[in-house]
Amino acid sequence: TSFAVERTNRQHTPQDSCNYSSSSKVVPLRRARLRKDVDTLRHILGIQKFDLGVICVDNQRIQQINSIYRKKNLPTDVLSFPFYEDLRPGKLPCPLHRDELNLGDIFLGVEFVMNQCREESLDLHGALTVVTAHGICHLLGYRHETEEEWTEMLQRESYILSEYNRLTGRHLEPLMKRCSQDR
Amino acid sequence: MLKSVVRSVGAAVRLSSATTSTARALPLSCPMLRSLSPAVTRPFTRSLWMLNSNSSGYRPKLFSSKVLSPSVSCGCGGLHTEGDKAFGDFLSDEIKEEKKIQKSKTLPKMSGGWELEMNGTEAKLSRSVSGEKITVTFNINNSIPPNFEEEVEQGQQKPAEEESEIVSTPNFVVEVTKQAAKHSLVFDCHFPEDEMSHGEGEEESDIFAIREVSFQPEGDTEWKETCYTLNTDSLDWALYDHMMDFLADRGVDNTFADELMELSTAIEHQEYIKFLEDLQGFVKCN
């Protein structure tokens, strides 16, 4: 998994501010935990041999990407950019070359998710794992534009997270409110 | 005395001209010229010609510049030349300009309770977290990446408002020391140059990176080469992530790195202005 924490995940507080741990804008992301969770998801889905990019960005950046690619000038929780654009939902690609062992990139709006977690008293890393599972489903061809598609995708996510819970002892559930993309 | 110098210089010039002319094809009807030695390189000939020339216009003098009259001496016993005066005047203007663009007379504060100590050009930030001592040391010397200077040299003419600011991105060393420990865990960190394109293209990476990790004897200022040093170039990503998390838990994260750059830039600018002022003082009067 190619993994990056984007430089714009930064704090903008006045000079005489409180310490970093109580700052409102710093996202307390721990990358080793996120990497491990993503690797667990990849194991569950059987996609370990595929490259996957996970980029953590702040509200400003995710809003910019959302505006460019979906014409929605708002921050959101996740945006997915599939390498394979016409996959049948859940069908893994069969690449002929090593260069095609790639599922695409997921941009996680970590600041957006952090704010949601604060409002709903949720664990940040748990929420990021749920959101990442959703993003990976999009990379694998799942959509939620129709009721039928939504149901199919929700079922898949529920399966993924139940397996995750079994392996880790945690209790994650699919997020009911979604501000993710249409694709 | 001066007249005789001119005469001998003039002769040298005439000889030089004759010598030079023999480098080209000679007319056979000129026995005298034929007997002269072949042309040799006379690099100082041009300077001699200039000394000998009476034509109008400023010519650089061969034997240094005019020394200012001792009657205006400050009594310091030092050399004062016209060049020094021009240099001093230039520095005056330069200092004024640099102070104009200086963001603040005081250094920016780091968030997170870091204490700053300065030792010349070396800065040390320290804080304690649950009994652990964390120090971050960097030196502002040679901390401006060469890419910025190359852009200026390549003559990229940008409008003044678009010119990028000089940013100091020093390498820095993070030292983590637990209580009563003989060794500190030391991280040699830097700002990768390819990520320093502010606002250009997509920036999707950490601001700083860990280059090397080592256990070093606590309290030693010099890096001990006989201690094993882990290089992160081909390190397992998961291990690297754990190290970055370790640092983040102690306050060294992308936010910190951003603030460190601002602090280093401010210190560097301060030191530059101070250097210009010292230089001005030295040039004017020692």
Residues A118-157 have pLDDT tens digits of 998 999 999 999 999 999 999 999 988 888 888 899 999 9
Q: What is the pLDDT of residues A14-26, one digit of tens each?
A: 222 222 233 456 8
Query: Is the CB of A87 inside 8 Å of chain B's CB atoms?
Result: no
Residue B131 has pLDDT above 60, yes or no: yes
pLDDT of residue B218: 81
Structural domain boundaries enclosing B214: 110-143+165-194+205-265
Residue B49 lies in a domain: no
Taking the CA atoms of chain B, what radius of gyration do you get in angstroms? 30
CB B44 within 8 A of CB B255: no
Establish if B64 belongs to a structural domain: no
B181 pLDDT tier (thresholds 50, 70, 90): confident
The Cα–Cα gap between A53 and A104 comes to: 6
Q: Is residue B44 part of a domain?
A: no
pLDDT-derived band at B225 (thresholds 50, 70, 90) equals confident
Distance CA A26, CA B159 (A): 35
pLDDT band for position B59 (cuts 50, 70, 90): low
Closest CA to B66 of B44, B86, B40, B39: B86
In Å, the largest CA–CA distance within chain B is 99
Judged against a pLDDT cut of 90, whether residue B185 lies above it is answered with: yes
The tally of domains found in chain B comes to 1
Is the confidence at residue B66, as pLDDT, over 90? no
Q: What is the pLDDT of chain B when averaged over all its residues?
A: 76
Q: What is the pLDDT of residue B10?
A: 38
Q: Which chain A residues are within 8 Å of B195, Cβ to Cβ?
A: 7
* Rounded average pLDDT over B135-156: 76
Is B190 inside any structural domain? yes
How does residue A97 score in pLDDT terms, banded at 50, 70 and 90? confident
**Mutate which of A1, A3, A6, A7 to test chain B, going by most B C-beta atoms within 10 A?**
A7
Does residue B227 lie within any of the structural domains?
yes
The larger pLDDT score, comparing residue A107 to residue B71, is at A107
Query: Which tens digit of pLDDT belongs to each residue from B199-223?
Result: 444 556 789 999 999 999 887 777 7
What residue type is A183 in one-letter code? R
Indicate whether B237 pLDDT > 80: yes
Name which of A7, A10, A35 is nearest B241 (Cβ-Cβ). Answer: A35
Q: What is the pLDDT of residue B164?
A: 65
Q: Which of A11, A40, A114 to mutate to test the interface with B (most CBs of B within 10 A)?
A: A11
Residue A55 reports pLDDT greater than 90: yes
Which CATH number does the domain housing residue B217 bear?
3.10.280.10
The answer to the question of residue B126 being in a domain is yes
Mean residue pLDDT of chain A comes to 83
Rounded average pLDDT over B137-165 = 69
Q: Is the pLDDT of residue A33 over 90?
A: yes
Give start and end residues of each alpha helix (H) in chain B: 2-21, 31-34, 45-52, 82-101, 146-153, 237-249, 254-284
By the 8 A CB rule, do B264 and B168 touch?
Answer: yes
DSSP conformation letters of B149-196: HHHHHTT----GGGPPPP-----EEEEEE-TT-SEEEEEEEE--GGG-
Rounded percentage of chain B residues whose pLDDT exceeds 90 = 50
From A19, which residue of chain B is nearest by alpha-carbon distance?
A: B112
Q: Does B149 score more than 70 pLDDT?
A: no
Mark yes or no for CB contact A15/B238 under 8 Å: no
**B255 and A15 in contact by Cβ < 8 A?**
no
pLDDT value at position B68?
A: 52
pTM, to two decimals: 0.72
Q: Are A11 and A20 in contact (CB under 8 A)?
A: yes
What's the rounded mean pLDDT across residues B134-153? 81
Q: Is residue B138 part of a domain?
A: yes
Q: Is B207 on the interface with A (CB under 8 A)?
A: yes
Considering the domain boundaries, does residue B155 fall inside one?
Answer: no
Residue B46 is predicted with a pLDDT of 47
Cα(B66)–Cα(B63) distance, integer angstroms: 9
